Amino acid sequence: MSVRILALVGSLRAGSHNRQLAEAAVKLAPEGTSVDVYEGLADIPFYNEDIDVEGSVPAAAVKLREAAGSADALLLFTPEYNGTIPAVLKNAIDWLSRPYGAGALSGKPVAVVGTAFGQYGGVWAQDETRKAVGIAGAKVLEDIKLSIPGSMTRFAETHPAEDTEVAEQLTEVVARIQGHAAAPTAA
């Protein structure tokens, strides 16, 4: 069985270390699994129920919902902004949580990882992201975690894919998500 994992990156910065981490996941995905980094989170308007009605849902939000709906699992990469989740990632979760009870995240396996400059690697943002996607209906893979501290120095001259320790950890993360996504669901 082929497994498709959709990656959402919570940083819009061109040189984002979380973006680089997502690119590394693409390269390190095991055979039979693809990791696709979603492009376009910056184009999605802030969630507003007034525009989330049939016939007027913004095209960027429709595209995101379709991409998440066709994925077998999601892998979210989040930096930590002021101790919490970046607005762009929270906005994506809000759009994916609707329609209530039947959103694109409903029952879908989701793991959250990331890197941040601080000494804890963004664990607060990751915890908040897990909370938000769980409330949005996803099957949060609580046992899959990867927080990489000191991103500004650790990745100053090395891409995460070339950092042996990070590459091994990220390979394990993707393989474990693959296992959850490929596992038959209980009837």
Residuewise pLDDT in 10s, the chain (187 residues): 799 999 999 999 999 999 999 999 999 999 999 999 999 999 999 999 999 999 999 999 999 999 999 999 999 999 999 999 999 999 999 999 999 889 999 999 999 999 999 888 899 999 999 999 999 999 999 999 999 998 988 898 999 999 999 999 999 999 999 999 988 754 3
φ/ψ of residue 5, rounded to 5: -110, 125
CA geometry: angle 151, 156, 162, nearest 5 deg: 85
Write down the pTM of the prediction. 0.95
Cα–Cα distance for residue pair 4/8, rounded to 1 Å: 13
Helix (H) or strand (E) holding 155: none
Considering only the top CATH level, what class is 3-182? alpha beta
* pLDDT tens digits along 27-53: 999 999 999 999 999 999 999 999 999
Domain map (residue ranges) of the chain: 3-182
Of 63, 11, 7, which is closest to residue 37 (Cα–Cα)? 7
Whether 74 contacts 109, CB under 8 Å: yes
Q: 49-67, pLDDT tens digit by residue?
A: 999 999 999 999 999 999 9
Residue type, 99: P
Q: How many residues does the chain have?
A: 187
H/E segment holding residue 114:
strand 109-115
